[in-house]
Amino acid sequence: MRKAGALTAAVLLVLALAAPGCDLVSSLTPFGIGNRDYASGSDNTNGLWTGKSSTGGDVTMQVGSSTVTSLMIHHIDGACNLPLEAQSVSEPVVNNVFSVTVDLTQGRFTAIGTFTSPTTCSGSYSFEGLAAGTCPSSGSGTFTAQK
């Protein structure tokens, strides 16, 4: 009889593991610690994000429906404050990562960011070919932003 009970328990365990939507690893991970996609199935990345660039300029980013809809990074170089702007974009957040590239009338602005937690995003940016007078026409930096 004990052998039948053990067999029944084993069959139930196999059925439970094979059930659709059952993820044994994530359900055994305490407090949700582990590799988590903050964008999938939730709005954790959505909202207004603000921070600073590595040059000391302001960073503002808007995310809605797990999509970056606007990004503004101020690149400061000496007396120059260059606003690098991506307005009305629609760049999806996939596996916590986004990439924005804007071809400007003159030049290009690119930013790549990673949501490292539901409240922190960091990344890098570069620009080239800008007509900026006495300011640099190309450069790069990093940024961090919080929600």
Three-class DSSP labels, 96-119: CEEEEEEECCCCEEEEEEEEEECC
Mean pLDDT (the chain) is 78
Q: Taking the CA of residue 48 as centre, how many other CA atoms within 13 Å lie in the half-sphere pointing to its CB?
A: 2
Q: What's the whole-number mean pLDDT along residues 46-55?
A: 97
CA 23 → CA 17, 28, 66, 143, distances in Å?
A: 7, 9, 23, 35
Cβ atoms 140, 125 nearer than 8 A: yes
pLDDT tens digit sequence for 12-29 = 333 333 444 443 333 333
pTM for the whole structure? 0.70
Question: Among candidates 34, 32, 51, which has minimal Cα distance to 147?
Answer: 51
More confident residue, 107 or 25: 107
- The residue extents of the domains of the chain are 2-32, 47-146
Residue 123 has pLDDT above 60, yes or no: yes
| CATH code of the region 47-146 | 2.40.128.30
Min mean pLDDT across 65-69, 88-92, 132-136 is at 132-136
- pLDDT value at residue 20: 42
Using alpha carbons only, give the angle 28, 147, 44 rounded to the nearest 5 degrees. Answer: 40
Please tell me the predicted confidence (pLDDT) of residue 95: 93
Q: Note the pLDDT of residue 144.
A: 98
* Half-sphere exposure (Cβ direction) of 131: Cα atoms closer than 13 Å: 3
pLDDT band, residue 64 (cuts 50/70/90): very high
Give the span between the Cα atoms of 146 and 8, in whole angstroms: 51
Residue 69 reports pLDDT greater than 70? yes
pLDDT value at position 40? Answer: 44
Q: What is the pLDDT of residue 41?
A: 42
Reported as a pLDDT band with limits 50, 70 and 90, residue 132 is: confident
Distance, CA of 117 to CA of 37 (rounded, Å): 9
What are the backbone dihedrals phi and psi of residue 18, each rounded to the nearest 5 degrees, phi first?
-85, -5
